[in-house]
Structure 1
């Protein structure tokens, strides 16, 4: 079981890693959101107001990442000793999935406000937040919760077992544990691959969060949205924003998992 010191280390390291990534790579995230927007890149703001929505990301990033890593490490510490080494990837899959589900309690409201501000930069973060509450209530902040979970769990199922596997392989090759920068490189590869594969789910989630209240898209059904994109825009539509998404997530995973590893090691 995880002791108090490890709990605090995971909490602080996760939160710091989250803030580091979200604030450093925010412009790439804005470009990705606008490329995926139904109204089109330039109508959604183009390259203007590239930091629109950043207050939402700044407020949500620490608790979001901290919750993820505390859940991830706790689950690993409970399940890890009970299974054989060859079943470790399944432990990582379960731990990452649970971590994502808990983190989404913070991530989804943050994303809703952030993405609406990114797609309508003239409004500002505070006005977007107030308008969402006024028009849709608290539940409006959780629009797209289901589609976010449907994106995050497949992503986590790919990224984290792959990250742990690459670290274990590198450790075995060099005969000692990986350094923080090596952990970051493994994270970048795992993140890029997971990001590319799950882009259609990310496109659906963006459309749901940006849709006008009361429309069929706003109801949050992922499969009909993906089918409609496939029929109207084909493969390019399903993978819109893939370049900034893969770039953002691979760089993000490098910073996120590298920072987490370094701070976690220092605190312990």
Structure 2
């Protein structure tokens, strides 16, 4: 940015009637040349610091700045009549330089990873630190971003918003009881509180100083105040700044409850169910190969050699209960996931995003999996060749094991599903953020799908041991008592630890596309539904 100009040199220029090149000041009479555009050029001059701003108050007061700032911003090429004199121009020039310097420093504070982009998560953390409602972060991003699909803002967008709000914030600052240097100390804060009938005591004044990160001398400058006001929605700027500051510093604001839209939850459930059912129907043969490897002593290469005997029809055995089970369970899971997130935002608005996703994913996975287990038992018994069709599988399971037979392997299934979906959703969210950080832009749809596939595949490999146990329990001969402990000891004794990872390769290639559809496909399908709805309204 360059070093700030030396105050003595600026003073000499003022006394000699000189001006800074390109600032639009006539050297002879101290008025503006009509051909120059002052506001745009001021921000290109090296920035000032707080002390330089304070030193100009002898030339122009902050009250006068309120009138000068919008005036200079709106004028571009007018007559010289009516323009402020040269000393006032230098004062306003310092104000612009100071304002941009403080704004740049605040932008860098918000940009936690230093990539030049402020994301929604960055804004949410900033709001949480200042005990402001979480919804302010979304409002700030929505007002500042360059387009509807952008998920972050750069310095140019931040500067544009800053310039729009500057006159309003400056006017609000001057309503406070300022010192001669244009700052606020504890005494000025107490006077300001008394003037509007708020509790004026030492504790409240100290809390308000701490809230705006007062300087070491216990003073609040315009920069401190403006950074706070920039984060507020436009409607809040219309309120008395003393009330707004006092409320934020001394009271924990409670956000209004987020309405749980039935339509939104149903759309989420439908999108999740369709995405999962489609991917299941396409990839069922790979799932059948995985099940046959896990349920027998065959290795994967040995199974490949027997594919001509099994045939395509054999690979699609159990596809009907598989598709129905995935549609119902995954639709229920995604619907509960969205509803749980909204409930958590209401109940615990300060929870980090990753914790909200983890808790919501846990609750939705447990309920969704419980619905799918009977379909999973039928599917795996058909895949393993125990029964020939769905009707035979239902009758045979009921006759030999009773109703509880449809829930065989529930413990192993939950031990597989809960870590898979919790880890998968978190891995997908974090991998997507990392990819956006590296590419410094929003991801294309195919890139989102690739991230979803990789996240699903890795989560699948990690949870393979539980998948092996579930398969062995569900495909055990009807009427045979089995438990997770018996299965684990049997595998370790006869096949070694590597036996717990049987079928990991086909499971990876089966789950990776499922992950792309379940994680990324669900997100893209939901966006498409919302887009269609908005277009139909228009």
Normalised TM-score (structure 1): 0.89
Rounded to whole Å, the distance in 1 between the matches of 2:398 and 2:333 is 26
Rounded to whole Å, the distance in 2 between the matches of 1:37 and 1:164 is 34
Q: Is 1:128 matched with 2:393?
A: yes
Cα distance change of structure 1 residues 117 and 39 upon mapping to structure 2, 3 Å threshold: farther
Rounded to whole Å, the distance in 2 between the matches of 1:261 and 1:89 is 17
| Distance apart, 1:109 and its partner CA | 0.7
Q: Is 1:20 matched with 2:285?
A: no
Match of 1:195 in 2: 460
Match of 1:110 in 2: 375
CA contact (8 A) 2:358 2:426 kept: yes
CA contact (8 A) 2:397 2:478 kept: no
Cα distance change of structure 1 residues 60 and 37 upon mapping to structure 2, 3 Å threshold: same
Match of 2:320 among 26, 46, 55: 55
Match of 1:261 among 511, 519, 523: 523
Report the structure number with the largest CA radius of gyration. 2
Larger relative helix fraction: 1
Secondary structure of 2:520 counterpart: helix
Instruction: Report Cα offsets for 1:80-138 as digits up to 9, x if no partner.
Output: 463447x3222222111111111112211111000000001761222112211222222
Match of 2:419 in 1: 154
Rounded to whole Å, the distance in 2 between the matches of 1:69 and 1:175 is 29
CA contact (8 A) 1:27 1:50 kept: yes
Gaps of 5+ in 2: 1-257, 531-538
Match of 2:492 among 230, 242, 262: 230
Rounded to whole Å, the distance in 1 between the matches of 2:266 and 2:507 is 31
Match of 1:138 among 377, 394, 403: 403
Instruction: Report Cα offsets for 1:184-233 as digits up to 9, x if no partner.
Output: 2221121111111110110000001011234342xxx3233223211210
- Per mean C-alpha deviation after superposition, the further-off stretch among 169-178 and 242-251 is 169-178
Rounded to whole Å, the distance in 2 between the matches of 1:7 and 1:177 is 25
Gaps of 5+ in 1: none
Q: Is 1:241 matched with 2:503?
A: yes
Rounded to whole Å, the distance in 2 between the matches of 1:17 and 1:103 is 15
Rounded to whole Å, the distance in 1 between the matches of 2:520 and 2:472 is 31
Taking only aligned residues, the RMSD between alpha carbons, in angstroms, comes to 2.2
CA contact (8 A) 2:357 2:426 kept: yes
Rounded to whole Å, the distance in 2 between the matches of 1:143 and 1:158 is 24
CA contact (8 A) 2:400 2:479 kept: no
Rounded to whole Å, the distance in 2 between the matches of 1:185 and 1:77 is 28
Secondary structure of 2:478 counterpart: coil
Rounded to whole Å, the distance in 1 between the matches of 2:378 and 2:469 is 17
Rounded to whole Å, the distance in 2 between the matches of 1:182 and 1:80 is 29
Match of 1:5 in 2: 263
CA contact (8 A) 1:188 1:254 kept: yes
Instruction: Report Cα offsets for 1:10-37 as digits up to 9, x if no partner.
Output: 0110111111111010000000000000
Question: Larger relative contact order (C-alpha < 8 A, sep ≥ 6)?
Answer: 1
Normalised TM-score (structure 2): 0.46
Rounded to whole Å, the distance in 1 between the matches of 2:422 and 2:379 is 25
Rounded to whole Å, the distance in 2 between the matches of 1:172 and 1:96 is 25
Secondary structure of 2:480 counterpart: coil
CA contact (8 A) 1:15 1:61 kept: yes
Secondary structure of 1:25 counterpart: helix
CA contact (8 A) 1:18 1:64 kept: no
Rounded to whole Å, the distance in 1 between the matches of 2:485 and 2:387 is 32
CA contact (8 A) 1:183 1:261 kept: no
CA contact (8 A) 2:280 2:323 kept: yes
Q: Is 1:68 matched with 2:329?
A: no
CA contact (8 A) 1:31 1:50 kept: yes
Match of 1:36 in 2: 294
| Distance apart, 1:175 and its partner CA | 5.0
Cα distance change of structure 1 residues 261 and 78 upon mapping to structure 2, 3 Å threshold: same
Rounded to whole Å, the distance in 2 between the matches of 1:96 and 1:206 is 23
Between Structure 1 and Structure 2, how many residues are aligned?
263
Rounded to whole Å, the distance in 1 between the matches of 2:525 and 2:410 is 30
